[in-house]
Amino acid sequence: MLKKDYAKLPIMSSVDDVVKRVLSLEMASQKEKMKVKTQQLVEKVRRSPNDNGSFEVQVAILTARIRTLEEHLQKHPKDKKNRRFLLMDLDRRRKMLGYLRRVNYSTFENTCKELDIQYSPPQPYTRRVTKRWLVKKALCIKVFQEKQKLKAAERLKQRREWQARARAAREQQEKQVQEKQVQKKQVQEEEAQEGTPV
């Protein structure tokens, strides 16, 4: 397969095999190979010819990078730096696929099918149950319940104090109202007595 720049030239049909090999992807740099691989994968999932940033395209770009890094690591298994990059890209792709799966399942399925990706959803976190952990949990629950009982007693005491205060305030208010009414009656009686002639 020839490089993109030379593939459509009419002169390439009459060129020697050695020249074709030099201009082929076999002799291309890693960067050029990566570009071609990315382009091929993006073409499969692109929504429209101008689509360059949708989630499907981003997943396709990451897939191209992952596959290139996997090939590299098969040749150089001790390359720790690129292994780290591979794991980071895998994590990013998994997150993007998870988002696509939640938001638009049909697009997610189509993307996985086109790019030949096997997506397995993350397992829910399960803690390994040991005897020590069970004892600790039971103790924590017991302490929590005791604390709740103490808090309940304190709350009850506090509530009773509030109710007593509210009752006292209400009684005082009622007493003041009654005193005012009594004073008002006395004033009215005095006025009535002053108004009548002797």
CATH number assigned to the domain comprising residue 97: 1.10.287.10
Is 163 a domain residue? yes
What's the confidence (pLDDT) of residue 21?
67
87 with 131: CB under 8 angstroms? Answer: no
Is 136 a domain residue? no
What's the confidence (pLDDT) of residue 52?
87
Please determine, for residue 103, whether its predicted confidence score (pLDDT) is greater than 70: yes
Regarding whether 110 and 46 lie in a shared domain, the answer is: yes
Q: In the chain, what percentage of residues exceed pLDDT 90?
A: 57
Regarding whether 161 and 74 lie in a shared domain, the answer is: no
Q: Place 88 in a pLDDT band, splitting at 50, 70 and 90.
A: very high
Regarding whether 109 and 152 lie in a shared domain, the answer is: no
- Give counts: helices (H), strands (E), the chain: 7, 0
Regarding whether 175 and 105 lie in a shared domain, the answer is: no
Mean pLDDT of 147-160: 91
Is 78 a domain residue? yes
Please determine, for residue 147, whether its predicted confidence score (pLDDT) is greater than 70: yes
Select from 93, 115, 137 the last residue of a domain: 115
Select from 96, 115, 134 the last residue of a domain: 115
Regarding whether 92 and 150 lie in a shared domain, the answer is: no
Please determine, for residue 194, whether its predicted confidence score (pLDDT) is greater than 90: no
Select from 115, 134, 153 the last residue of a domain: 115
Regarding whether 88 and 185 lie in a shared domain, the answer is: no
Residue 135 in tokens: 């004892």
Paired residues of 24 in beta bridges: 2
Question: pLDDT by residue (tens digit) across 20-58?
Answer: 666 666 677 788 888 888 888 999 999 898 888 899 999
Find all residues with CB under 8 Å of 121, minimum gap 6, and list them.
Answer: 98, 101
Burial class (CB in 10 A: 0-12, 13-18, 19+), 132: exposed
Regarding whether 65 and 163 lie in a shared domain, the answer is: no
What's the confidence (pLDDT) of residue 13?
67
Lowest mean pLDDT across 3-7, 50-54, 140-144, 153-157: 3-7
What's the confidence (pLDDT) of residue 129?
85
Regarding whether 23 and 92 lie in a shared domain, the answer is: yes
Mean pLDDT of 10-18: 66
Q: In the chain, what percentage of residues exceed pLDDT 70?
A: 84
Q: How many structural domains compose the chain?
A: 2
Lowest mean pLDDT across 69-78, 103-112, 163-172, 185-194: 185-194
Regarding whether 22 and 99 lie in a shared domain, the answer is: yes
Domain with 46 in it: 4-115
Mean pLDDT of 143-161: 92
By residue count, the chain amounts to 198
**Helix (H) or strand (E) run with residue 141 in it:** helix 131-195
Regarding whether 159 and 106 lie in a shared domain, the answer is: no
Is 179 a domain residue? yes
Burial class (CB in 10 A: 0-12, 13-18, 19+), 196: exposed
CA pair distance 157, 191, nearest whole angstrom: 51
- C-alpha triplet 91, 94, 97: angle, nearest 5°: 150
pTM, 2 dp: 0.56
Residue 129 in tokens: 């149950």
Is 74 a domain residue? yes
148 with 93: CB under 8 angstroms? Answer: no
Alpha carbon of residue 114 to chain centroid: 26
Regarding whether 110 and 14 lie in a shared domain, the answer is: yes
